Structure 1
Amino acid sequence: MPRKGEAGCVFCEIVKGELHGHVVLETDEVMAFLDTRPLFKGHTLLVPKEHHETLPDLPEGLVGPLFGEAKRLAKAMEEGLEAAGSFVALNNRISQSVPHLHVHVVPRNPKDGLRGFFWPRTKYASDAEAAEYAARLQEALLRTETV
């Protein structure tokens, strides 16, 4: 049974507007916002608005909307951030720092330093810099066809 929110879930609080997040996109089913500890600036987390912990928990009807928007975000990384490509991944329980299903969409460039599964984190210089990255991705999404 889908749950609208889970007490203490940071991502549910962002979805409900109770916690601030630099929102990149929002539909009826999903929301994407910048990771606060990005691998690279523009690293976005895409979540179903309903609380589902893992991919196997996700109802079939949400698989298409979730991954359709992941596809759009991957394209937006290239267009909006001038990235050469992207890295798209999710974890189920193991290495899942927040127990709410989330897809990482990360801008990538040659020789960016990401090797295997060693993922050094960075941070934004300021809230304004994070907002600027979110705005660039939002603009690119406007130019990207909806699924």
Structure 2
Amino acid sequence: MVLNSFLNHIFRYGWASPTTLLGLLFASLLLLTGASARWVDGVIEVAGGWLAQTLVQTSGFAALTLGHVVLGCSAECLQRLRPHEHVHVRQAERWGLLFVPAYLLAGLWQWLRGRHAYYDNLFEQEAFAAESVESVR
């Protein structure tokens, strides 16, 4: 049973690794601009730095998940958004290399239907649902 759990764990990390590598690339850029990093529940969280602040001001997004890497504007922000962002980590584990294209296509599909590319995206709806369940606890 322990071996099965270990192999499942390795598979999930391996399957998500292409997206995680992209996250590590972005994390490196944030770290070079003053961000800090920490390990939380199997995920690398990178917070702060002037580049993150600039991206938040231009894009409006406070956090971004790429595989097992979560990038955020601050540690407080990441703590608040952790339930939401960790849903995206699990999505990356399920979708693997296909996660980023599937996420973008889901948003494009909603936009083409005249809906909101972010809020109506099925990946985001799953994350928002988990976030609201966590806030009830």
Bucket of the pairwise TM-score, normalised by the shorter protein: 0.3 to 0.5
Q: Which has the larger radius of gyration?
A: 2
Higher relative contact order (CA 8 A, sep 6+): 1
The TM-score normalised by the length of structure 2 is 0.34
Higher helix share: 2
The TM-score normalised by the length of structure 1 is 0.33
